Structure 1
Amino acid sequence: MYTHILVPVDGSPEAENAVGHAVHLAAAVGAEVHALYVAGAQSADEPTARAVADRGRRALEDVRERATEHDVTVDTTVAEGEPAQTIADFVETTGADLVVMGTHGRDGVDRLLNGSVAERVGRLVSIPVMSIRLGAGEQAVTSPLEAQRIAREKLQVTGHEDAVIESPSHQRTAWVVHASDDSGEYNIHINSASGRAKLVHLG
């Protein structure tokens, strides 16, 4: 099975969704996760360069947090270059045997004009590339039951497996699930597009 899973990240909902798949797969098969943020060519504009660096840092911190929650070994890297070729080069560097990538679900002219990094990576490497599709406007979490399942998992991995959870409330871009146990009360915020969950301790 797989031992080294590479997941490129860019902070988008598509990439966040792919990270969830990569981490869960790694936990199931005992693999390591390698997270790569491709910054592109360095900008001479300092504010732009700083914003790019901050986006990469947040994306990689997210992978580290999610991997830690599932006891998955992870390393993170920032690289510069053309995304598809940089990802392909990193496959060789890490000895990855699977790439898990988020991709949009658009078709037709828009897809042809913009291309697909995942498709280009697939042509450049000799290992499987798993494309996790999340179309424009699509939601990874579409039902209260799914939101409750994600909230329950988040509570379990953060040591609150006995917490009582309430019915989720659906906001514009997120689900919020309230929970409580002997240690206090919590809100679990779940990104509707990516399924990413964050626990906020209310006291």
Structure 2
Amino acid sequence: MKDYKIKDIHDFYGKSYVSTVFFRNDRVKDKISAFKWFRLTIIELIIGVEILESIIMSFSLSPYSNYKNLDKDEYGATCHLSLFIPYGIINCLVRNSAVEVLYYKYYHQYLLLTPVEKYDIDDQKNTINCTRTRFAAKKELFSELIAFRRVYELTWFLLNLSIDILVYYFSDSLQAAIATAIGIEALRRLLTI
């Protein structure tokens, strides 16, 4: 019996999800400042996994909440941006910023969400009002959610590892480094309460 080598020459998209999360693309650069992008990225790293789970849940919601102009096989249920944010102590504290994460990052940068109604832009007040606008998640991009979750987890891991190394370097105590690692992981889990 021969062992066959399996080939699949389908072109891989080749995009880096790490750079997609941390750096603005050309579509977004004129919509948001670098400082605000940085601030929203920090918030995304804290609550991003929960947002992803909420988006996944929108795929399983009743198709009756979909609009007639959307194919229910291609999009999840339509929701207001605030409904993609799960309830929790931290999430409630950063709810307004989380809505901005969904708008600027998940809609404009990642293209995972699409509006099904128009939203109001008030240039005088410098606001975008999405209160009456529902968004739907694109099912064709569902597999990308795994990659975004990996970026969030990798970032927390690298942050924890870096701080542990610094603590060990300056204190020369393995116990202090282990306590720091446990403390950072506990903090990460507390942020999801």
The TM-score normalised by the length of structure 1 is 0.25
Structure showing the higher helix proportion among its residues: 2
State which structure, 1 or 2, has the greater radius of gyration over its C-alpha atoms: 2
Structure showing the higher strand proportion among its residues: 1
The TM-score normalised by the length of structure 2 is 0.26
Answer 1 or 2: higher relative contact order, Cα 8 Å, separation at least 6: 2
